[in-house]
Structure 1
Amino acid sequence: MPLEADVLAAFPAEVRIPARLVADGLAASSAISPRVFVVLDDDPTGTQSVADLPVLTRWEVADFAWAFAHEINGRRQRAVYVLTNTRSLDPAEAAARNEEVVRNALAAAAAVPAGAGPRLRLSFVSRSDSTLRGHFPLEPDVIAATVAAVAGEATDGVVIVPAFPDAGRVTIGGVHYMRGTGEDAGALTPVAETEFAKDASFGFANSELARYVEEKSEGRVAADSVIVLDLNIIRASTDPQISAKAIADAIESATDSTPIVADVVSENDLRALALGLEEAERRGKKLLYRVGPPFVRARIGQEIRAELSGEEAYAGNAPSEAGGLIVVGSHVGVTTRQLKALTEQHSAARIVEIDVEKLLAAETETGSADSYLDETVDKVVEALRGSDVIVHTSRLLIRAHDAAESLRIARTVSAAVVAVVNRTLKTFPPRFVIAKGGITSSDVAAHGLEIRHAIVRGPMLPGIVSLWEPVDGPAKGIPYTVFAGNVGDDQSLAAVTRKLSNTF
């Protein structure tokens, strides 16, 4: 494994760029026609890097109208997140959902009443996994095609920025890496050599992003046609405006959805990129974005929000005396280690396991797992009366022979988790809810807690774990923590639980 310091030695040092510089540039370009970034988030963990932005789990025109008009701290926001959960869908379903979201967002933007202000300008962001799992290139392809069909606007370039430095995902020289931890601190592992590249539904073989694009497009896009913005361009000058021009110059040739991949090692690199993209768009380039979590924060010039305290998490709401509910569905290695650390440290917590083999057997034998789920809910509710409850799926990951069957099993398990959460909420609302895992946290939000509209309050850990405040539905006032399966160290789940719990 190469050392990060050695790989970076070939490139210029990073340049400090204030978030305000990006925000001011965006404000200037929005002075006449206000601009909003609509983020199609393929699981809810994309919100972990931002604060004070609206989130939708439904996407009818009326939902967008609410989000576009909603004011936080006295002003409307530059971005709105839409929880599409498409990573849990098959390609046809994912395509249909992307198209529906884009059509409705454009309809809502066009429906500003006369005299109510200028029409909104929308930019679309396809937010996906920082370890390259997801429906690519399908999702940006569908978004671009829908924008062209509805608005008559062709996309010149698709900007691909999976980097997530807060979680140890960086791109250098066009290669996407994971930073090592513990004994491997300082080392870089090409992402194709990690467990994430072996994903049953979204596996891949290339860490070099241009070759990844060629691989996932099945050769439709050649690697040598991809524009690579390496650190020599991102950090072209100590003057951010000169670097911005260098970035805009480098993508001048982009046309017909040309893929553009960008090196990012730090927040400063993301901000430099944001300035360059703003300059390119000022020149007339029409861009679409396929990105990891922190891109939107940098693109709109938002400061990095300090992690929330337990008191801030409950601000404006009176916490109940019930126990909290921690739901763990992810099976990646770091989640299993985090679960182990939590159960070892939180001796007061009750543990309820959803046995996946029993669940699938019940579905197969009787056509319904209701009786098994009823028993599980009874255990959870009884335990919540005196302690926090950890609900987790059994740690044995059941794999199928093909991607479609793997997705079917994942959906069955997720539906069971959702049912347990929803029935518990209707019977005995918990003090807080933490959901661990991308698909898990999406389904728990939209269906388990029936959240339709929420506000991202900020991170519970620096840059990697998001707290939502539901603004309607049965979960209103219950802090909801979205915790990706593949982020944090072994102690992170325990740390978040400790902040929210009254028994830990």
Structure 2
Amino acid sequence: MVFSMNENIIEKTKLFTSLPPEWPEELLPEIKNKVEKAAASCKVVIMDDDPTGTQTTRDLPVLTHWDQNSLEKELTGSCPAFFILTNSRSLIPDEACKLAMEIGVALKNAEKKTAIRTTVISRSDSTLRGHFPIEVDAMAQAMGKKDLPYLIIPFFLEGGRYTINDVHYVQEKESLVPASLTPFAKDKAFGFSHSNLKKWVEEKSNGSIGAKEVISVGIDDIRVGGPAKVRDILESVPEKSACIVNAVSYRDMEVVTSALLLLESEKSGKEFLYRTAASFVRTRTGLDNLYPLLDKNKLASSVPHGGLFIIGSYVEKTSSQLSHLLQNTNIKYVEVDVANLLNQQSRNIEIERAASKAYAFLKAGKDCAVFTSRDLVTGEDAEESLGIGRIVSDSLIDIVRSIKVQPRYLVAKGGITSSDVATMALGVKRAMVLGQALPGVPVWKLGDESRYPGMAYIIFPGNVGDETALTTIQKKLSMDKQDE
């Protein structure tokens, strides 16, 4: 099958119906069996650049600290996989690489101490945004694997992201928009010019890997050739190169995962440097989708206070969801003026004002949304923009810290926002993924060391859900009869 190389907006239904049917065999039970059998000698470790990578999993631990004892405990534990939350997307490149190197060294030492191998996945969706390839390279160097090829799998069903004919698409209503034509590609820190992933690899690697050198696993390879064909393609990928995976369904992911497990079981022990979205994580850890969304009893505590939304994401989808929430519920709100946060003289005053108002609403049993003013402020370059983002995020942390009452439930909107609230405002060192509040919206059970032990923490990615998503959660969890 041959598609045009042009990166044009395409009607989803028309394109999907032109694809060959999915691979007919159900592969997940075998994958799950292999993952569970291997767990005693090999663990899957997901390096997550923000907490939203947990959005397709359940019953797996998340570490926000990576001291030797914590890593050894997880490697020798019963779970086949665990997450390490790095929040590296909020860092400047040098800091992100330093962090990846630090974790890589600690993980390698833990491997030696426990005699348990790891398969490390660098999970960074954010629609192709993040420190690639430099943080992957830093981790690989620390673990003695710097010559391995990259395996790039950005398919993410829950977020409407598909790769077809090597072009990565973002679903907008009934259309598929090439990623380079979306606002994500204009990101000051992590922008890109190409939706074709071969060209994207060349762009992000600064030409060290040319587009013509990048190998790809096509939809036909997966759906017609099956695991054996994909295995052969993956086996042929040379060192210091890259391979991209086309996919539009979880069955496609199962075929690819089966092929990878075949390779791992062979004498050659073929390995890759993984850069993937959350859908691959779910399949690689052997999880099925046969579980319901979490209900109100699992998401809200019994305290008589209001629920709290902390909204820091600036993507267009978040702003439209926030607008819908404010217009269609009785929720109280506090808008935090970013201009005041960026002014050193007014920053503390703005933080105190916002925290005081939010506290009063929550204490009175009213749900409250605390959100940053919607005009995005950026710097002259990527580093300055990340610095501005750091100030805003630190201010949101201070606001949450200053609210001296436990909310009935807590929703943090945006990857960096939710990470910082978890680690810095709530003191989370280890949490368990309970499941999802909505498709692609993970929920953590906070550990005993945290500010609110056992509380459910809802992590809402900035670019997930339709316009009504925040409203749906608020009405589901509100104590206000008018909102139910």
Which residue, 335, 340, 348 being the options, matches 1:358? 340
> Secondary structure at the residue paired with 1:336?
helix
User: Following the alignment from structure 1 to structure 2, what is the Cα–Cα distance between the partners of residues 501 and 34?
Assistant: 45
In the alignment of these two chains, the number of paired residues is 467
User: Following the alignment from structure 2 to structure 1, what is the Cα–Cα distance between the partners of residues 460 and 341?
Assistant: 24
* Structure 2 partner of 1:26: 35
CA deviation digits over 1:16-72, x for unaligned, max 9? 5342121123345x17x52211111011111111101000111111222343345xx
Which residue, 327, 345, 355 being the options, matches 1:377? 355
* Structure 2 partner of 1:407: 386
Mapping of 1:199-218 within 5 angstroms? 199-218=187-206
* Structure 2 partner of 1:127: 123
Which residue, 67, 73, 79 being the options, matches 2:74? 67
User: Following the alignment from structure 1 to structure 2, what is the Cα–Cα distance between the partners of residues 68 and 419?
Assistant: 34
Which residue, 457, 464, 489 being the options, matches 2:434? 457
> Secondary structure at the residue paired with 1:37?
strand
Which residue, 172, 178, 184 being the options, matches 1:190? 178
Q: Is the 8 A contact 2:158 2:464 kept in 1?
A: no
* Structure 2 partner of 1:250: 233
* Structure 1 partner of 2:22: 14
User: Following the alignment from structure 1 to structure 2, what is the Cα–Cα distance between the partners of residues 129 and 379?
Assistant: 35
> Secondary structure at the residue paired with 2:379?
coil
Which residue, 264, 269, 294 being the options, matches 1:308? 294
User: Following the alignment from structure 1 to structure 2, what is the Cα–Cα distance between the partners of residues 372 and 156?
Assistant: 49
Identity value in percent = 36
1:166, CA displacement in angstroms?
A: 1.6
User: Following the alignment from structure 2 to structure 1, what is the Cα–Cα distance between the partners of residues 371 and 413?
Assistant: 9
> Secondary structure at the residue paired with 1:111?
helix
* Structure 1 partner of 2:54: 47
CA deviation digits over 1:198-244, x for unaligned, max 9? 0010000000101100011111101111110011111134xxxxx21
Which residue, 479, 482, 491 being the options, matches 2:459? 482
User: Following the alignment from structure 2 to structure 1, what is the Cα–Cα distance between the partners of residues 167 and 88?
Assistant: 26
Q: Is the 8 A contact 1:64 1:108 kept in 2?
A: yes
* Structure 2 partner of 1:80: 82
1:145, CA displacement in angstroms?
A: 1.2
* Structure 2 partner of 1:420: 399
Q: Is the 8 A contact 1:322 1:430 kept in 2?
A: yes
> Secondary structure at the residue paired with 1:488?
coil
* Structure 2 partner of 1:274: 257
Measured at CA, do residues 109 and 294 of structure 1 come closer, stay the same or move farther in structure 2, by a change above 3 Å? same
Unpaired stretches in structure 2, ≥5 consecutive residues: 1-8
User: Following the alignment from structure 1 to structure 2, what is the Cα–Cα distance between the partners of residues 448 and 356?
Assistant: 19
* Structure 2 partner of 1:73: none
Matched, 1:466 2:442: yes
Measured at CA, do residues 69 and 313 of structure 1 come closer, stay the same or move farther in structure 2, by a change above 3 Å? farther
1:500, CA displacement in angstroms?
A: 2.8
* Structure 1 partner of 2:211: 223
* Structure 2 partner of 1:89: 91
User: Following the alignment from structure 1 to structure 2, what is the Cα–Cα distance between the partners of residues 322 and 61?
Assistant: 39
Q: Is the 8 A contact 1:23 1:302 kept in 2?
A: yes
1:391, CA displacement in angstroms?
A: 0.2
> Secondary structure at the residue paired with 1:144?
helix
Matched, 1:38 2:14: no
Measured at CA, do residues 331 and 204 of structure 1 come closer, stay the same or move farther in structure 2, by a change above 3 Å? same
Measured at CA, do residues 398 and 252 of structure 1 come closer, stay the same or move farther in structure 2, by a change above 3 Å? same
1:481, CA displacement in angstroms?
A: 0.5
* Structure 2 partner of 1:390: 369
One-letter amino acid of the counterpart of residue 131, structure 2:
H
1:245, CA displacement in angstroms?
A: 1.6
One-letter amino acid of the counterpart of residue 60, structure 1:
D
1:376, CA displacement in angstroms?
A: 1.9
Unpaired stretches in structure 1, ≥5 consecutive residues: 71-75, 113-118, 238-242
One-letter amino acid of the counterpart of residue 359, structure 2:
V
Measured at CA, do residues 257 and 52 of structure 1 come closer, stay the same or move farther in structure 2, by a change above 3 Å? farther
One-letter amino acid of the counterpart of residue 403, structure 1:
A
> Secondary structure at the residue paired with 1:108?
helix
CA deviation digits over 1:97-130, x for unaligned, max 9? 1111122122223323xxxxxx211011110025
- More deviation, 436-445/274-283: 274-283
Matched, 1:295 2:303: no
* Structure 2 partner of 1:172: 164
* Structure 1 partner of 2:135: 139
Q: Is the 8 A contact 1:170 1:265 kept in 2?
A: yes
> Secondary structure at the residue paired with 2:10?
coil
Q: Is the 8 A contact 1:130 1:163 kept in 2?
A: no
> Secondary structure at the residue paired with 2:143?
helix
User: Following the alignment from structure 1 to structure 2, what is the Cα–Cα distance between the partners of residues 69 and 423?
Assistant: 38
> Secondary structure at the residue paired with 1:236?
helix
Q: Is the 8 A contact 1:130 1:291 kept in 2?
A: no
One-letter amino acid of the counterpart of residue 355, structure 2:
V
> Secondary structure at the residue paired with 2:453?
coil
1:453, CA displacement in angstroms?
A: 0.5
User: Following the alignment from structure 1 to structure 2, what is the Cα–Cα distance between the partners of residues 54 and 167?
Assistant: 23
User: Following the alignment from structure 1 to structure 2, what is the Cα–Cα distance between the partners of residues 478 and 157?
Assistant: 41
Q: Is the 8 A contact 1:49 1:293 kept in 2?
A: yes
Q: Is the 8 A contact 2:103 2:139 kept in 1?
A: no
> Secondary structure at the residue paired with 1:251?
helix
User: Following the alignment from structure 1 to structure 2, what is the Cα–Cα distance between the partners of residues 253 and 15?
Assistant: 22
Matched, 1:329 2:312: yes
One-letter amino acid of the counterpart of residue 500, structure 1:
L
1:194, CA displacement in angstroms?
A: 0.5
User: Following the alignment from structure 1 to structure 2, what is the Cα–Cα distance between the partners of residues 499 and 58?
Assistant: 33
> Secondary structure at the residue paired with 1:419?
helix
* Structure 2 partner of 1:158: 150
User: Following the alignment from structure 1 to structure 2, what is the Cα–Cα distance between the partners of residues 325 and 26?
Assistant: 38
User: Following the alignment from structure 1 to structure 2, what is the Cα–Cα distance between the partners of residues 222 and 230?
Assistant: 19
CA deviation digits over 1:301-350, x for unaligned, max 9? 10124211112335xxx521111110000111110111011112221x22
So what's the TM-score if we normalise by structure 2? Answer: 0.93
1:155, CA displacement in angstroms?
A: 4.8
CA deviation digits over 1:247-294, x for unaligned, max 9? 111122223232110011011111111001111222320122100111
